[in-house]
Each structure stands twice: as C-alpha cells, then as structure tokens.
C-alpha cells in the first residue's frame, strides 16, 4: 500500500541548496515529503521529496539533462495529477527528490510512492522497485491557468539528476 502525505505548499526554505546539483541553486518555494512522521521513514524505505521551484530561468538548463523516467498519466482539471516513475532509488535513506519547475498556483501537494515491478523488469535494476510516484497538485484558485509551465526532473543520491521523458500533455517549456 502506498504511503501518502500532505503538506501545504509555499513554505519558505533557508535558501540553502538541497542537493549538489547545479540546477538546485535557487530557493525552493515548497518542500514536501510523503514522510510526515519520522517513525515510518526510519523503519524502511525513504519516500522521495517533492520540491517546487518557481524560478523558471532554469528551465532551459533542465532541457539539457538526460531523459530517464516517464510520466505515464497526466490529468489537468481543477488540480494536476501526475503518475509515473523516475530514477529514484529504493532503500534506507535513499528517497531522492522529484523537482517541479512551475508557475502553477500550488496550494497543497499530495505524494505517494508506488511500487514499479514493471520498471525493474524492463530496466533490469532492482534498485528501482519503488521508483513510481503519484503526485496531486492542489491549485488555489482551482483550475489550470492558460500558458502554464510544468517541468519535472529527479535528483537522486545514487542515480543522479535526470529529466522526465517528454510528454506532450506536460507543458515543459511553457506553452505558446
């Protein structure tokens, strides 16, 4: 059963980079982790962190990253729902980070870690057993604005920094 967590977006951070990645140099406007209490995190696998970056000047640099992972399902109505997998390691303390570069008015984020035996079978890497995710972006005001940007990448301590496979439904870079 996936573990789910919710935390309001818009929480300012200290301004320190979360990773050693050159793309993680801006202040993230929200950091959300599916592990809201320490006990489940310490007992087993670490869920990925979801970080939201509203400084879209870095989108061009994201386009230069190697593609790994895929957005399998995308829905945008009142909220945005993303389902897919990324180069996110499984195991104690290896949750990694899913980064959303966007100008969407996110009020809250829900994230679930999803087992992906299909990815393990195709890629041949058992470290990707929990590389799946389901993310729901709750928008305030509700509804999708015209011309928004949403770029998705991963940054993992074992696999490194990658961007999601291009999906015509996910507008990265900005729609015209």
- CA geometry: angle 81, 46, 75, nearest 5 deg: 5
Distance between first and last Cα of the chain: 40
Quick one: average pLDDT of 44-52?
75
Q: Give residue 137's pLDDT.
A: 96
Q: Is 31 exposed, middle or buried (0-12, 13-18, 19+ CB in 10 A)?
A: middle
**Whole-model pTM over 0.85:** no
Distances (CA, A) of 126 to 4, 94, 119: 23, 14, 9
For residue 43, name the pLDDT band (cuts at 50, 70, 90).
very low
**83 or 142, greater pLDDT:** 83
Q: What is the SS3 string spanning 48-78?
A: CEEEEECCHHHHHHHHCCCECCEEEEEEECC
As a dihedral over the C-alpha atoms of residue 44, residue 93, residue 165, residue 148, rounded to 10 degrees, the angle is: 100
Q: For the segment 142-155, what is each residue's pLDDT rounded down to a tens digit?
A: 888 888 889 999 99
Nearest residue to 116 via CA among 140, 137, 87 = 87
Q: Which two tokens stand for residue 102?
A: 């966007």
Average confidence score pLDDT of the chain: 75
CB 65 within 8 A of CB 86: no
Residue ranges of domains in the chain: 4-163
């Amino acid at each position: 059963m996936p573990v789910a967590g919710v935390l309001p977006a818009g929480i300012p951070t200290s301004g320190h980079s979360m990773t050693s990645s050159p793309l993680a140099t801006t202040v993230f406007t929200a950091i959300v982790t599916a592990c809201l209490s320490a006990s489940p995190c310490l007992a087993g696998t670490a869920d990925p962190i979801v970080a939201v970056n509203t400084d879209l000047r870095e989108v061009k640099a994201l386009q230069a990253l190697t593609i790994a992972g895929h957005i399998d399902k995308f829905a945008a109505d009142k909220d945005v729902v993303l389902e897919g997998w990324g180069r996110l390691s499984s195991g104690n303390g290896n949750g990694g980070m899913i980064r959303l570069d966007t100008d969407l008015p996110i009020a809250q984020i829900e994230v679930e870690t999803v087992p992906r035996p299909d990815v393990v079978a195709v890629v041949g890497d058992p470290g990707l057993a929990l590389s799946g995710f389901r993310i729901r972006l709750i928008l305030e005001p509700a509804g999708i604005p015209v011309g928004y940007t949403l770029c998705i990448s991963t940054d993992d301590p074992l696999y490194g920094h990658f961007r999601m496979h291009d999906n015509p439904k996910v507008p990265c870079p900005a729609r015209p």
